[in-house]
Amino acid sequence: MERLQKVIAMYGDYSRRKAEELIVKGKVLVNGKVVSELGTKVKSSDVIVVNGDVLDKNINFEYYLLNKPREVVTTTKDEHGRKTVIDLIDTQMRIYPVGRLDYDTTGLLLLTNDGVLANKLMHPSSKIDKVYIAKVKGKVLASDVKKLRQGVIIDGRKTSRCIVKIKKYNKKSNTTIVKLTIHEGRNHQVKKMFMALGYEVIKLKREKYANLDLRGLKVGEYRRLTYKEVTTLYSLVK
Catalytic residue numbers, as ranges? 102
Q: How many angstroms separate the CA atoms of 210 and 15, rounded?
A: 23
Q: Cα–Cα distance between 90 and 93 in angstroms, integer?
A: 9
Find all residues with CB under 8 Å of 204, minimum gap 6, and list them. Answer: 102, 104, 105, 106, 107, 132, 133, 134, 135, 190, 191
Answer for the pair 162, 146: CB distance below 8 angstroms, yes or no.
no
Sign of CA dihedral 143, 148, 153, 157: negative
